[in-house]
Amino acid sequence: MEGIRRFVRKQPALITFFTLIIGLLVGKYLSFPILLILFASSLVIYLIKRKDIPLLIILALSASIYQSIRIPRKWQPLFFSGIYSENRLIDPVYGELQISLPVPPGNFVYGDAEYIEFGSIKKLIVKRIRGSHPTIINKIFFLGTILDKKIEETIGGDIHKMCSAILLGKRRELPSYMYKRFQYCGAAHLLAVSGLHTGIVFFVVLIFSRVIQLRRKHALIFSGIMVFLYAFLTGLRLPVIRASIMLWFFTVGEIKERNIDSLNTLSASGILILILMPRSIYSISFQLSFLAVFSILIMLKILKNYLSHIPTNWVKKWIVLPSLVTLSAQIGTLPLIAFYFGYIPLLGLIANIILIPLVGALIAGVFLLWVTPFFSGITGSFVWGIGYLMNKIMILLEEIPFSVITIPEKNPGILFLYLFPVFLLFGMGLLRKKRTVIPIAVPP
């Protein structure tokens, strides 16, 4: 138990993050008066006992109350305001709302609506638009359209649609058969603009900045700025916003050259995201992205000593570490993929080890296509070749028998079957640490 206490003391942000998650989830099932009663009771207990547990309960209940006042009421009138983008409204109070408005993307719009929720349908029905005003975001969204047309003119065909889906999140024009290829290979996440894509964009810009002789700190700041611009180019998608916040936390630590604990940094970014967008806790992309990064960091911490024994640096850097990162992310997100989507991709690890580096090359190629238009012929051929290779690899993996196991969706038993061996191994580790060795005196 001392090891657990030591771990908890070193990870205050992690404990706070998980406490907020529990509170936000609990707030969905308890009414507001009950939450207030529990909050008042916990506050009294804390003032008497002055213990950490009542304080954590107060924090969780505060998160529950905060969540409950920011959830739109079903079938009730609602005043909305925010930035409009592709049938979505980024509202500062309610977060992301599904709504269809006859205004240009990027406009700041406000008005009256009614919130409806029926099964998987959760959206606003507009009653009246009180105002719609252009912003600088209109131009950034329009820039995204121009960049997409540049890809189409240079590459065209299904490879253009694949590039637009991977880099800009434009999946509507992607053929269904191509989407199924990504899905059956366990690589459908590559088509959803998320933390992976944001991280690749960050490092591509960082490498480019170093090539043009920018100083390290300036290169980091420039890369961070470009990541936020990328969030706007992709239509202010919440996964990209979340990833941008996470990257800025890591970037600030790198600029200050401090040895910041990675789990605390991840948790601190999660706390900020949940404060700004508490409904993110119910987002599949939020759950997948944080669980993937958390799994990677934990696995790297566990295997740190083993990695130091690998004699060849290039083997560790280019083969072992990428494979380990991919494996860690796959292990961490497997239960959620099985739970939400109803399938287990048996070849997911192999597919991602091959496809993720190719996606990095694809994004780097498209970036060069934009910043060096005078080399568009050569760069376009390179990007087309990468896309063609990805498509062929997915076709080969798709034809392998039993590459995917189909299971019932939203079955809680899937999560239990995954968590049971995890807790079992954790308990065995604790028992092993508790064992003591009794010294025996051996006579000479």
Q: What is the DSSP string of 134-200?
A: --HHHHHHHHHHHHHHHHHHHT-HHHHHHHHHHHH---TTS-HHHHHHHHHTT-GGGGS--HHHHHH
Please write the tens of the pLDDT for every residue from 398-444: 788 777 777 777 777 777 766 666 656 555 554 454 444 434 443 34
Are 250 and 334 in the same domain?
yes
pLDDT computed for residue 420 by the predictor: 61
Q: Looking at the 3D structure of the chain, how many domains does it have?
A: 3
Does some domain include residue 444?
no
The strand ranges marked E within 178-293 are none
| CA–CA dist 93, 22 (Å, integer) | 21
Are 234 and 90 in the same domain?
no
pLDDT band at 318 (very low <50, low <70, confident <90, very high): low
pLDDT computed for residue 132 by the predictor: 93
Are 191 and 232 in the same domain?
yes
Burial of 438: CB neighbours in 10 Å, binned 0-12, 13-18, 19+: exposed
Spatial CB neighbours of 164, under 8 Å, sequence gap ≥ 6: 148, 151, 152, 170, 173, 174
| CA–CA dist 236, 107 (Å, integer) | 12
- Mean residue pLDDT of the chain comes to 80
| pLDDT of residue 272 exceeding 60 | yes
Does some domain include residue 2?
no
pLDDT computed for residue 3 by the predictor: 54
Share of the chain above pLDDT 70, in %: 88
The whole-number average pLDDT for the span 91-118 is: 86
- Given 68, 97, 113, the domain boundary residue is 68
Q: CB neighbours (10 Å) of residue 278?
A: 23
Q: Specify the amino acid at residue 205.
A: V
| pLDDT of residue 313 exceeding 80 | no
Spatial CB neighbours of 111, under 8 Å, sequence gap ≥ 6: 79, 80, 81, 126, 127, 128, 129, 130, 131
Structural domain harbouring 88 = 76-134
Spatial CB neighbours of 178, under 8 Å, sequence gap ≥ 6: 158, 161, 162, 391
pLDDT band at 258 (very low <50, low <70, confident <90, very high): low
The whole-number average pLDDT for the span 114-134 is: 83
Reading the block at residue 331, the tokens are 């292990």
Reading the block at residue 53, the tokens are 């547990």
| CA–CA dist 245, 5 (Å, integer) | 29
| CA–CA dist 27, 67 (Å, integer) | 6
- Given 25, 50, 68, the domain boundary residue is 68
Phi-psi region of 341 (alpha: psi -120 to 50; beta: other; left: phi over 0): alpha
The whole-number average pLDDT for the span 336-342 is: 79
Does some domain include residue 439?
no
Are 189 and 231 in the same domain?
yes
| pLDDT of residue 309 exceeding 50 | yes
Are 39 and 187 in the same domain?
no
CB 366 within 8 A of CB 382: no
Are 152 and 93 in the same domain?
no
pLDDT computed for residue 440 by the predictor: 41
pLDDT computed for residue 111 by the predictor: 92
83 phi and psi angles, rounded to 5 deg: -90, 130
Are 317 and 292 in the same domain?
yes
pLDDT computed for residue 192 by the predictor: 75
pLDDT computed for residue 5 by the predictor: 59
| pLDDT of residue 268 exceeding 60 | yes
Q: Is the pTM of this model over 0.75?
A: yes
pLDDT computed for residue 437 by the predictor: 42
pLDDT computed for residue 384 by the predictor: 92
Please write the tens of the pLDDT for every residue from 171-200: 878 888 888 888 778 777 788 777 778 888
CB 166 within 8 A of CB 358: no
pLDDT band at 2 (very low <50, low <70, confident <90, very high): low
Are 254 and 329 in the same domain?
yes
CB 91 within 8 A of CB 68: no
The whole-number average pLDDT for the span 54-82 is: 86
Does some domain include residue 431?
no
Are 42 and 100 in the same domain?
no
Q: Please give the helix or strand (H or E) that residue 110 lies within, else none.
A: strand 108-118
The whole-number average pLDDT for the span 38-48 is: 89
CB 238 within 8 A of CB 277: yes
Q: Specify the amino acid at residue 351.
A: A
Are 117 and 196 in the same domain?
no
Please write the tens of the pLDDT for every residue from 134-165: 998 888 888 888 888 888 888 888 888 898 88
CB 57 within 8 A of CB 40: no
- Given 134, 152, 167, the domain boundary residue is 134
Q: Measured on CA atoms in the order 298, 304, 305, 311, is the torsion positive or negative?
A: positive
Q: Specify the amino acid at residue 426.
A: F
Phi-psi region of 76 (alpha: psi -120 to 50; beta: other; left: phi over 0): beta
Angle between helical axes of 321-341 and 412-434 (0-180°, round to 10): 140
Query: Could you report how far apart the first and last alpha carbons of the chain are, in Å?
Result: 38
Residue (of 192, 183, 190) closest to 343 by Cα position? 183
pLDDT computed for residue 276 by the predictor: 80
pLDDT computed for residue 368 by the predictor: 87
Please write the tens of the pLDDT for every residue from 58-68: 999 998 988 88
